[in-house]
Amino acid sequence: MESRRGPIKIALIAGLVFGVLFIAVTLLIVTGRIAPFDDAVIAAVQGMENDRLTSVMKFFTLLGSSLMAVILSVAAFLFLMIVLKHRRELLMFVVAVGGSEFWNVLLKNLVQRARPNMHRLIEISGYSFPSGHSMGAFSLYGAFAFLLWRHIPAFAGKIAMIVVGVALTLMIGISRIYLGVHYPSDVLGGYLASASWLMFSIALFEKHWRRA
């Protein structure tokens, strides 16, 4: 039991830190002080616009869509249940990913930030903050990486999994800025909110659900 308290404490502290940072970003948005940051990043990202890059960004935004998240979640669900036969790990996955979706809907309706309307390449409705694509990608790939980490024997394989997960999560977030449907602070807030919830989910898993 003692050996498990360290990871639990680290996860809880990390969750609190990410939560405080999310609150800070939210306050900057509400007070309008985040605008210079948003404007600078939007100008840099959308300044790279060309037809080929637009196609690439649409592909990454598709990877972060609700439909793709459902498909990947079902695939991960079946893999954890049938292949690894880890039902407790499956419970953690559902809590992390499903909870992230719940928090996204709740936070969007609390803040009610309108989407940017300067230069959109695709059309989408709903509130802007925090980015649902960013939250979904972070929780999905983050939870899956955490649960698979101990099952990958080679260190190179572990690193490759992390690199791929981080790259996909970042590109999905950047694609939302490029396509003009989110402010950069929406994406940043989505990452922070999802990271906080993922850390608390990991702490819950380590404390109550992990097999002895």
> What percent of the chain is predicted at pLDDT more than 90?
50
Please provide the DSSP assignment of 23-53 as one string. HHHHHHHHHTTTHHHHHHHHHHHHTT--HHH
Please write the tens of the pLDDT for every residue from 76-103. Answer: 777 777 766 666 777 888 888 889 999 9
Provide φ and ψ at 114, rounded to 5°: -70, 150
pLDDT of residue 4: 58
pLDDT of residue 91: 80
pLDDT of residue 85: 67
Q: Residues in the chain with pLDDT < 70?
A: 1-5, 83-87, 209-212
Neighbouring residues of 101: CB distance < 8 A, sequence distance ≥ 6: 132, 135, 136
Q: Which residue from 179, 165, 90 is spatially nearest to 131, judged by alpha carbons?
A: 179
Please write the tens of the pLDDT for every residue from 169-189. Answer: 999 999 999 999 999 999 999
